[in-house]
Amino acid sequence: MKKQKMTYLSSGMVGLAGLVLMGLQTNDAQAATNGTVNYADGATTVWTSPEVGQKPARYLATNQQVTIQDTKQVYGQTWYKLGNDEWVSSQFITAGDATAQPAATTTAVKNTVTANFQSGATTVWADTTAAQPTGEYLTYGTTKNVIDQKDLNGTTWYQLESKGWVPASYVVLNNPNLDGVTPITNAPAVTPVAATTTTTEVQAPAAPQATTPAPATETPAPAATTEATTPAATTSTPAATTQPAQTQTTTTQSSQQTTQATTTQQAPQTNTTTKASGNAQTVINAALSQIGTPYVWGGTTPGVGLDCSGLVQYAYAQAGVSLKRVTTAQEGAGQRVSLDNLQPGDILFWGGAGASYHDAIYIGGGQYVHAPQPGESVKTASISSYFMPSFAVRVL
């Protein structure tokens, strides 16, 4: 009898555990969320992992529905898990059931701007100082929604949904088809917003007026110095007339501990110490002129199809430099340089020496231009810890 009771008790505990497991599985199923691919300029890559060293698994089309099984934070960025070894950055997926959203939210009438600069891409700036590009560029005929507008220094600026800004001289308002509009072929000048000056002075009561100034030091803003310069000449955007912002700090000291620190953010000067040389700028211009060209494996035809080394080979050819066809051969085109000492025009490589699988052209400001992979087009990207170049070579 006791043995029979123990059997009933054990069966009850197993049954209870099964119910708990079933409840957990139900919760997991309820936690799954639908999502919609929102990237409209090409295919969205699904990676095998959100960590360093991931590989492409497959590609998603615009508006394709997916199921988000889990999320993960990597280097401050949210990634969505779509399946086993399938991860996509959250910036390319709109979470939630798209069919549940009222149509009015997606069809509401908004002001739009359409890029009218035909000789290159129009730079989207981080703010109206025209000192720091966002890394987004609008090719001729591209239309974007407007969320704000400012009139500063006689220039009208439009803010896009991406939070970036474009000057009115490069775009046309509420005319997506550019009907009756003559394309712009020469980059218009853009007047940046006047910089602000902040002065902080601390002085001892009996300090004499005479001071011995310390040598002035100029420190270019790291993310803007070459970035604004590079797209400028390449894309013939406002950067051609507005050089990157720089910060100048001057410190003066007296024997009575009189200290005055003046920090001035000013409109950048024409000559900067990190500006690309003439030949390097020609390389950058040529590479950026191919933004929007589809990736084609083995492609060497500008405007039609290029792969990563095909883009590098084409860009350097425009500066009179003949490079070999594939990445491993291009490794030997110049001198190895540290990733901490990059200059515009340097070639970035991913993979080990002699076994590199991808390359790109550094354009300054922590950014590079490259032909990424099948399903995408030539575009700019930022150097990041989850897709860090392995080494660099300086040719010019």
Residue with tokens 């400028």: 232
Residue with tokens 């002065």: 199
d(CA 193, CA 51): 40
Three-state SS at 87: strand
Q: Give the CA diameter of the chain.
A: 106
For residue 38, the 8-state DSSP code is: -
Q: How far is CA 30 from CA 36, 85, 356, in A?
A: 18, 21, 44
In order, the DSSP letters of 117-168 are B-SSPEEEESSTT--SEEEEEE-TT-EEEEEEEEEETTEEEEEETTS-EEEG
Q: Is 216 a catalytic residue?
A: no
d(CA 61, CA 215): 57
Q: How far is CA 233 from CA 120, 190, 226, 246, in A?
A: 9, 14, 11, 19
Q: Are 337 and 396 in contact (CB under 8 A)?
A: no
81, 275, 358, 379: which is the annotated catalytic residue? 358
> How many Å from the N-terminal Cα to the C-terminal Cα in the chain?
92
- Distant-in-sequence, close-in-space partners of 74: CB < 8 Å, separation ≥ 6: 50, 51, 386
81, 144, 370, 379: which is the annotated catalytic residue? 370
Task: Indicate the residue type of 370.
Answer: H
In order, the DSSP letters of 221-264 are -TTTHHHHHHHHHHHTSGGGTSPPPEEEEEEEE-TT--EEEEEE
Q: Is 358 a catalytic residue?
A: yes
Three-state SS at 355: coil
Q: Is 221 a catalytic residue?
A: no
Q: How far is CA 31 from CA 24, 28, 91, 94, in A?
A: 11, 5, 20, 16
Residues catalogued as catalytic: 308, 358, 370
